[in-house]
A and B are shown apart, each in its own frame.
Chain A
Amino acid sequence: MTVDELEKEQQRPAGMGPVGWLRWTWRTLTAMKTALILLFLFALASVPGSLVPQRSVEPDKVAQLFQNNPTLAEWYDRFQLFDVFTSAWFAAIYLLLFTSLIGCVLPRTATYVRELRRRPPAAPRNLSRLPYFSRLDDPLTVEEAARRLRRLRFRVDVGDGWVAAEKGYLRETGNLLFHVSLLGLLVAVGFGSLYGYRGNVLVAEGDGFANTVAAYDRFIPGTQVSAESLEPFSFTLKDFQASYQVEGDKRGQELDYSAFLSVNDSPGSPARDYTLKVNEPLEINGTQTYLIGHGYAPVFKVTDGKGQVAFEGPVPCLIEDKPSLTSGCVVKVPDAQPSQLGFLLRFLPTSDGAGASLFPGALNPQVQLLGAFSGDLGVRSGRPQSVYELAPPEVMRKLTPLVMGTGHAPLAVGGSLELPKGAGKLEFTGAKEWITLQITYDPGRLPALIAAAAAVAGIVCSLTIRRRRVWVRVKDGVAEVGGLTRTEGSAAGFTEEFADIVKVLSAGGKDAR
């Protein structure tokens, strides 16, 4: 235990040179008090990470804050409060902490190794002054005492008329293992974030996905990831099924859902079926595919003013109301002639016929038209487009409204609606579902798990094992036993063990175990 020694040494010697200052800095950094303060700072620094929306967790909320309160958002941004856990100041704290940890662990390991090779310290002259003491009734020889203590798995040293024994070295081993494992965990997490990647994609029933950078809706690679390093698998979403609670208070709550995939592990390999569920990701060579969410993608067919089919296919809709899965849909038809068409619609999985949905399952799927427009949607302007927004406000203003409001009855599957002025026709031909997937590759996860498991093993040893010493002195045929436990605060419990040791030592003859 070098903590106290370290602290004693830490006092700044007068009049020292640069080397002295360096030593002083190092000692201060590796002192327990500094570690304690850094631990506090570490905890404190994480707090804003839960109060301010984080870019990596809720990018949409960050964007919203920038829109609603730009001044505040800019200040937040200046202090990297949207990226707390990758910020410079957070890194500074944990790097200092881990430097302190290394500075703490290295000398302790050295001391510990020396201690391991050393014999237990010789018996003090007066054992009765020790916290635990007992005088034996039966005679005992030094050799016999040493033998019995060895049986109790003590490390034993024998001197002239005394035996010294020590046990519980695993405590320090555990403590060192724990601290080193924390370092290992940090390295593993860092390695994973450099060489791993994460991406999201939305797939509708009947559509497929091939694992290439271009196929992702959002792709977040580590700095060491190249486009070629992606695992070349692909799959098709054949079907999606969800079940919901039908009765009671929790009517409409999701019970279970599954995505039925047809998977090709690599370009040439045969297809295999896989049922993707929450908690059951698809793993291909370390790349995991997770089912994150689902919603509806009604299928529309749009005929333009010239009588040609200008659009046909599923349109993924954004969930507006989670319990009923009422969703908002945007259909853009840039190919429509003579002018482009755009529709805003509401999808109702179980329509009550009056514009609301009663249940999240598709029992009576209907589509309510909210607005139809003609004019230039600005799709070809080269600006980034959202599939959930018909057009930015300045473009919307220039469009010609064809239909506004919810005056029309909702369309059932197969229903259609003629636009006024012969502008075209909208048909609702069916309801498909979409799923969102997260695909991740993180080569650091197994090392991180191993480090974490080692940390738990280490901490259990460190917290449950007591370092203890027992001495026996034999003088004029009378044996005395003294004990000392060296562990801060956890002396309770040694009383019983000491009593047991005394019992073993005082059991007469050879029948002692």
Chain B
Amino acid sequence: MPAEQQLAGVSDLFVVAAVLLYLAAMIGFALELAFGRSSAEAPAVRARQPVGVGSSGGPVDAAAEPGGGPVAVEPPHWAPKAGWLAMAFGWLGWTANLFAIVTRGLAVDRWPWGNMYEFVVAICFAAVTAFLGTQLRQNVRFLGAFVMVTAALGLGFAVKVLYTAAGPVVPALNSYWVAIHVTAAILASGLFVLGGVSGILYLIRGDGPSRLPSRADLERVAHRAIVFAFPVWTFAVIAGALWADRAWGRYWGWDPKEVWAFITWVAYAAYLHARVTAGWRGRAATIVQLVAFGCLLFNLVGVNMFISGLHSYSGL
């Protein structure tokens, strides 16, 4: 028992370390964004594409690429370094977050997502993973500051509000379905967070030139994240139904958690339709996406805290 408690303590320390490292990364990314070359000048993702696919693509945001904007100021020499340092802090934070999850799992000797605290820690990890993973394939550093602050806030919220001491879960949660259903939900949620952060930036940013990344870039990151997340979320819901069929005697019973998983799913489906509907592309689709993201968050926080249901035993 003491060894396990020690491990649980180590896990808590790693969570704190992850918060600090994410904050450090956030500062680095923010400095780079504020003082580095602005996205209008920097050859961002789209530069890898010879010509925009004007015929059908998302909003090809010509206004975001100012032809002769004020680009005369030479960025300070340390600005790119801040960016690289931020990436390093981001990866370190990611590692600390991973260790926090692994040690927690070893301490409790089960999958470390049995209650809301563990679940939120894992979602933050998934969101950062989604960001860093995307970064490996294309340059999305412009999102770094916002993803990092989201992850730090998420972990802080988990520690301050949701903290649950390491321990066993109720028998119903002792099933291999935890590994399947909850893991899929975490993965999808992490990607949806990436989409949500991009969506919020899209709305904050005007059409004109700005330090913030171009709308087209934000749109594309959000769309790709959601396109990847949606089937995973679909799978998570179905796996949940399969588990409910084993545990509760029906595969679908309109329990509040199920209702909101369904609402979230329909809302993201609406986003995918909005993107191919004339007059809905761009801003309107982004708003739909953020409504869907709101439903996801409400399901995570609101349903667990304010509405009682079969899922309530996941504990706060």
Interface check A453, CB cutoff 8 A: yes
Q: How far is the CA of A332 from the CA of B262 in the complex (A)?
A: 46
Q: Are A189 and B263 in contact (CB under 8 A)?
A: no
Residues in chain A near residue B269, CB distance under 8 A: 39
- CB proximity of B241 to chain A, nearest CB, Å: 7
Interface residues as binary, B44-68 with A (CB distance below 8 Å gives 1, 0 otherwise): 0100111111111110000000000
| A133 engages B50 (CB within 8 Å) | yes
Q: Is B98 an interface residue (CB 8 A)?
A: no
Interface string of A438-481 (1 = CB under 8 A from B): 11101001001100110110011001100000000000000000
- A3 to B50, Cβ gap below 8 A? no
A278 and B172 contact, CB distance less than 8 A: yes
Q: Is B260 an interface residue (CB 8 A)?
A: yes
Contact of A254 among B51, B171, B245 (CB under 8 A): B171
Is A46 an interface residue when CB atoms closer than 8 A count as contact? yes
Q: Give the residues in chain B near A54, CB-CB below 8 Å.
A: 254
B20 at the interface (CB under 8 A from A): no
Please report the C-alpha to C-alpha distance between residue A486 and residue B224 in the assembled complex, in whole angstroms.
16
Q: Which of B222-278 contact A (CB under 8 A)?
A: 223-224, 227-228, 230-231, 234-235, 238, 241-243, 245-256, 259-260, 262-263, 266-267, 269-270, 273-278
Counting chain A CB atoms within 10 Å of each CB, which of B242, B250, B256 scores highest? B250
CA distance A49 to B303 in the complex (A): 12
Q: Are A256 and B174 in contact (CB under 8 A)?
A: yes
Known: A4-B278, A50-B303, A57-B254. A487 touches B167 (CB 8 A): no
Give the docked Cα–Cα distance between A492 and B222 (Å): 13
Using Cβ atoms and an 8 Å threshold, which residues of chain B touch A32? 273, 276-278
Which chain B residues numbered 262 to 316 have a C-beta less than 8 Å away from chain A?
A: 262-263, 266-267, 269-270, 273-280, 295, 303, 307, 309
Contact B295 A43 (CB under 8 A): yes
Q: Does A281 lie at the interface of the complex (its beta carbon under 8 Å from any beta carbon of B)?
A: yes
| B34 proximal to A (CB < 8 A) | no
Is A490 located at the chain interface by the 8 A CB criterion? yes
Bound CA span A191–B295, Å: 30
Contact B230 A463 (CB under 8 A): yes
A85 within 8 A of B: yes
Instruction: Return chain B residues, CB-CB under 8 Å to A212.
Output: none
Flag if B48 contacts A489 (CB, 8 Å): no
Task: Decide if A490 touches B227 in the complex (CB within 8 Å).
Answer: yes
Instruction: Tell me, yes or no, whether B168 is within 8 Å of chain A by CB.
Output: yes
Alpha-carbon separation in the docked complex, A292 to B172 (Å): 10
How distant is A227 from chain B, measured CB to nearest CB, in Å? 21
Q: How far is the CA of A488 from the CA of B75 in the complex (A)?
A: 36
Contact B223 A281 (CB under 8 A): no
Q: Using A46-B263, A485-B53 as known contacts, say yes or no to A292 and B220 having CB atoms under 8 A apart.
A: no
Kindly state the separation between the CA atoms of A484 and B57 in the bound complex, as whole angstroms.
Answer: 12
User: Which of A250, A448, A455, A487 contacts B56 (CB under 8 A)?
Assistant: A487
Q: Beyond A42-B266, A288-B249, is A7–B234 a contact (Cβ under 8 Å)?
A: no
Contact status B167-A495, CB under 8 Å: no
Q: Which residues of B contact A453 (CB under 8 A)?
A: 238
Do A440 and B52 touch across chains, with their CB atoms under 8 A apart?
Answer: no
A277's closest neighbor in chain B, by CB?
B171
Q: Once the chains bind, are A279 and B249 in contact (CB under 8 Å)?
A: no
Chain A residues whose CB sits within 8 angstroms of the CB of B262 once the complex forms: 43, 46
Task: Report the separation of the CA atoms of residues A47 and B58 in the bound assembly, to the nearest whole angstrom.
Answer: 31
Would you call A445 and B245 a contact (CB within 8 A)?
Answer: yes
CA distance A281 to B235 in the complex (A): 23
Q: Which of A272-301 contact B (CB under 8 A)?
A: 277-281, 288, 290, 292
A161-B242 Cα distance, complex, nearest whole Å: 56
Cβ contacts under 8 Å, B245 to chain A: 445
User: Is the CB–CB distance between B171 and A131 below 8 Å?
Assistant: no
Do residues B270 and A40 form an inter-chain contact, with CB atoms below 8 A? yes
Indicate whether A257 reaches chain B with its CB closer than 8 angstroms.
yes
Query: Closest chain A residue to B260 by CB distance?
Result: A50
C-alpha spacing A7/B263, complex, angstroms: 27
| 496-510 of chain A: CB within 8 A of chain B | none
CB-defined contacts of B307 to chain A, threshold 8 Å: 50-51
Task: Select A46's contact among B48, B251, B259, beta carbons within 8 Å.
Answer: B259
Decide if A449 touches B273 in the complex (CB within 8 Å).
no
Q: Hey, which chain A residues are within 8 Å of B234, CB to CB?
A: 455-456, 459
A39 near B167 with CB under 8 A, answer no
Is B175 an interface residue when CB atoms closer than 8 A count as contact?
Answer: yes
A245 to B167, CA, bound (A): 10
5 CB-based A-B contacts, threshold 8 Å: A3-B276, A39-B269, A50-B303, A278-B247, A488-B57
| A-B pairs with lowest CB-CB distance, top 4 | A290-B249, A438-B249, A50-B259, A50-B256
Residues of A within 8 A of B (CB): 3-4, 7, 32-33, 35-36, 39-40, 42-43, 46-47, 49-51, 54, 56-57, 84-85, 131-133, 189, 198, 245, 247-250, 253-257, 277-281, 288, 290, 292, 438-440, 442, 445, 448-449, 452-453, 455-456, 459-460, 463-464, 484-492, 495
Residues of chain B whose beta carbon lies under 8 Å from any beta carbon of chain A: 1, 45, 48-58, 138, 165, 167-168, 170-172, 174-175, 177, 220, 223-224, 227-228, 230-231, 234-235, 238, 241-243, 245-256, 259-260, 262-263, 266-267, 269-270, 273-280, 295, 303, 307, 309
